[in-house]
Structure 1
Amino acid sequence: MATTDDSFNGLTEYCEDCDLETLHEVSVQIRTESTKEENAQFSREPYRVCECQRCGNRSSQRMNNA
């Protein structure tokens, strides 16, 4: 689970690669999931993307599982 502390960005999370709680950059991206052009506007979904600032490991998770 993400926590806040006195670091610059303030978001620390557990990193499986580092096996430590490290500073992470977290953002939300809207991604198009459809490969068909005519349906692309209806297939956008939010993803939570986090990147470890120590090792660079990046992961994403779909936020809407409707």
Structure 2
Amino acid sequence: MATTDDSFNGMTEHCEECELETLHEVSVQIRTESIKQENAQFSREPYRVSECQRCGNRSSQRMNNA
């Protein structure tokens, strides 16, 4: 689970690479999931992207599982 701390801009989360609670930069990205051009406008989904500021490991998770 992510927690806020007294750092300047970030959240601490468990990093699977570092095996520690480290500072992460967290953002939301809209990704197109369809490879067909005619359906691309209907296939955008939000993803939570987290990047460890210690080792650079990135992970993403789809936010909408509908």
Note whether the superposition's TM-score is higher than 0.5.
yes
Coarse TM-score class (shorter-chain normalised): over 0.9
User: How far apart, in 1, do the equivalents of 2:14 and 2:34 lie?
Assistant: 32
CA contact (8 A) 2:10 2:25 kept: no
Structure 2: gaps spanning 5 or more residues: none
TM-score by length of 1: 0.97
Structure 1: gaps spanning 5 or more residues: none
Aligned residue pairs total 66
C-alpha root-mean-square deviation of aligned residues, in Å?
Answer: 0.6
Paired-residue identity, %:
89
User: How far apart, in 1, do the equivalents of 2:10 and 2:37 lie?
Assistant: 39
* Structure 1 segments of 4+ aligned residues over 6 angstroms from their partners: none
Q: Name the amino acid aligned to 2:59.
A: S
TM-score by length of 2: 0.97
